[in-house]
Amino acid sequence: MTDLSYLELGRKMSRPAGGVRPTKASFLANNKINYSEFTDKDIVEGYCDDLLKLLGEEDLRVMISGIFRIQNQLSELLEEKNMDHSLSLDDFFRQLSPLLLEVLWETANQEVDQSQLLKKFQEAIRISLEEELYLWQDRH
């Protein structure tokens, strides 16, 4: 069995070039960020803040887009700063996979409209985001 990494997930999202320096580290930023300007602590705090923002998001598309944006920013961060590879969404995706399978299993033999199914998917994503946030707050 191979160890799969999610670092390339969401790489196809378009990213605007250039940008202004943010006041704090944010992975949800739409622009290229020079992470060398931030301490590791600032980066972890920014990461946790962004996860909190996604937890409060009601629109599933915006939530998923934010997850991809964070993943892209984390990828660039690992390349730029040579940080610990544990700063990734791998744990998030490991938590999410069984939850999504459970939703599919529970609804496989039922007639469920699309909006109900999407709400269940969103709840699974929220649970995984909460776990990820807890892990990062506990580690740092």
| 117, amino acid identity | L
Q: What Rg, from alpha-carbon coordinates, does the chain have? A: 16
Neighbours of 132 (CB within 10 A): 25
Q: Specify the length of the chain in residues.
A: 140
pLDDT in tens, 6-43: 444 444 443 334 444 444 667 776 567 777 777 878 88
Q: What is the pTM of this model?
A: 0.74
Contact partners, residue 38, CB within 8 Å, separation at least 6: 24, 25, 46
* Widest distance between CA atoms in the chain: 52
Spatial distance between the Cα atoms of 119 and 138, rounded to a whole number of angstroms: 28
Under the banding of pLDDT at 50, 70 and 90, the label for residue 125 is very high
Please tell me the predicted confidence (pLDDT) of residue 97: 95
